Amino acid sequence: MSRNGSRSIMNENFLVKMAVKIGFHVEILRPKRTTELAKIYRVLNSSDVMIGVHGAAMTHFLFMRPGSVFIQIIPIVTAWAAEEYYGAPAKKLGLKYIGYEILTTESSLYDKYELDDPVLADPTKVTEQGWQITKKIYLQCQTVRLDLIRFRKQLVEAYDYIIDRI
């Protein structure tokens, strides 16, 4: 599940290449506001694994079959919401859920702020300023550059899980 703009995966092309090398057949789904829900359903219901960055589009995990794998990439400050809104419900629906919390160095915010800036060093101080500031910094202005060596573990775990179920 690919996003454009905020919370997109900046090295998505390398992620795809790595997934193919592991053994996955990859189809990138880039839904737009005009994409028919039936198309999203067909793609996800026929998929064994869905990967995406935390956000409203992750709701589409509802179209996955029980026993499928849902990997949610979790940007800085979104861990609670990621688990509460998507992780826990996915598990209840019989999906294998893998949450991948990014490191600070995997966030575009790492390139914009000094390490001692509260945005990186103490996000609680920032989130205490209210939803609008939190939304602007962490949801609208953050993209992800996955550490593919680190993320590979989640892909291999998902692949092995699916292969073991066959």
What is the pTM (predicted TM-score) of this model?
A: 0.94
Q: How many domains does the chain have?
A: 1
> pLDDT tens digits for the chain (166 residues)?
998 778 899 999 999 999 999 999 999 999 888 999 999 999 999 999 999 999 998 999 999 999 999 999 999 999 999 999 999 999 999 999 999 999 999 999 999 999 999 999 999 999 999 999 999 999 999 999 999 999 999 999 999 999 998 7
| Residue 73 falls inside a structural domain | yes
CA–CA dist 26, 29 (Å, integer): 10
What CATH number did the domain enclosing 22 receive?
Answer: 3.40.50.360
Give me the domain span that covers residue 78.
Answer: 12-106+145-165
| Residue 112 falls inside a structural domain | no
CA–CA dist 61, 38 (Å, integer): 14
| Residue 18 falls inside a structural domain | yes
